[in-house]
């Protein structure tokens, strides 16, 4: 007698092999989708960090030694910095001609309740900072140091009020994840 088909055992073995291949394919597809989602989240975080780094770098590089005044009219040094943040006056540089424009803006970076914020002032003299724009949140700590010609300082307190640091070191410690270390050149040092 001639066999023209598969036996039941052969058919069951073929179905078993096909189902194992299908399960492996679904597992591989799931791993690929999860990896793509994790990569997308990580890239979004890195892009956010780069935008913040560019903003601070721009402000610090365009810092000018302009002494300002508080609401009472008392002079405030050109650059104020401590462990919680810093305040500076930035000029506007024309990128095509490298010429400073007369537009000046006073900005402040500060760690407030686990959030790094950037505030600007409506006027250079006699004004309070506007409501801060949150840059990074869920931070455990931010450590700042300021570079003088003599070395690093925790607080910027120069002898002359128009002196600015050469650089700012900022170490950001998020509540979760690795710490980030930034170095920004200030004013003419850039």
Tens-place pLDDT, residues 58-88: 999 999 998 999 888 889 898 999 989 999 9
CA-to-CA separations, 148 to 73, 86, 99, in angstroms, rounded: 28, 15, 26
Contact 83, 64 (CB under 8 A): no
Q: Residue 83's beta-bridge partner residues?
A: none
Contact 139, 114 (CB under 8 A): yes
CB neighbours of residue 15 within 10 Å:
10
pLDDT tens-digit profile of 114-161? 899 999 888 888 888 888 889 888 888 899 999 998 899 999 988 888
Report whether pLDDT(40) > 90: no
């Amino acid at each position: 007698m001639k066999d023209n088909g598969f036996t039941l055992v052969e058919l069951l073995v073929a179905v078993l092999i096909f189902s194992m291949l299908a399960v492996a394919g679904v597992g591989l597809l799931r791993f690929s989708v999860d990896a793509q989602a994790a990569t997308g989240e990580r890239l979004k975080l890195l892009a956010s960090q780069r935008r913040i780094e560019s903003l601070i770098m721009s402000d610090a590089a365009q810092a000018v030694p302009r002494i300002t005044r508080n609401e009472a009219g008392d002079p405030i040094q050109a650059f104020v910095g401590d462990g919680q943040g810093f305040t500076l006056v930035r000029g506007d540089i024309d990128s095509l001609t490298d010429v400073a424009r007369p537009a000046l803006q006073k900005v402040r970076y500060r760690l407030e309740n686990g959030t790094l914020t950037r505030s600007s002032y409506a006027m250079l003299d006699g004004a309070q900072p506007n409501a801060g724009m949150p840059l990074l949140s869920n931070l455990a700590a931010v450590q700042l140091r300021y570079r003088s010609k003599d070395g690093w300082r925790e607080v910027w307190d120069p002898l002359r009020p128009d002196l600015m640091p050469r650089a700012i070191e900022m170490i950001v410690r998020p509540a979760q994840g690795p710490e980030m270390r930034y170095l920004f050149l200030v004013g003419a040092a850039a």
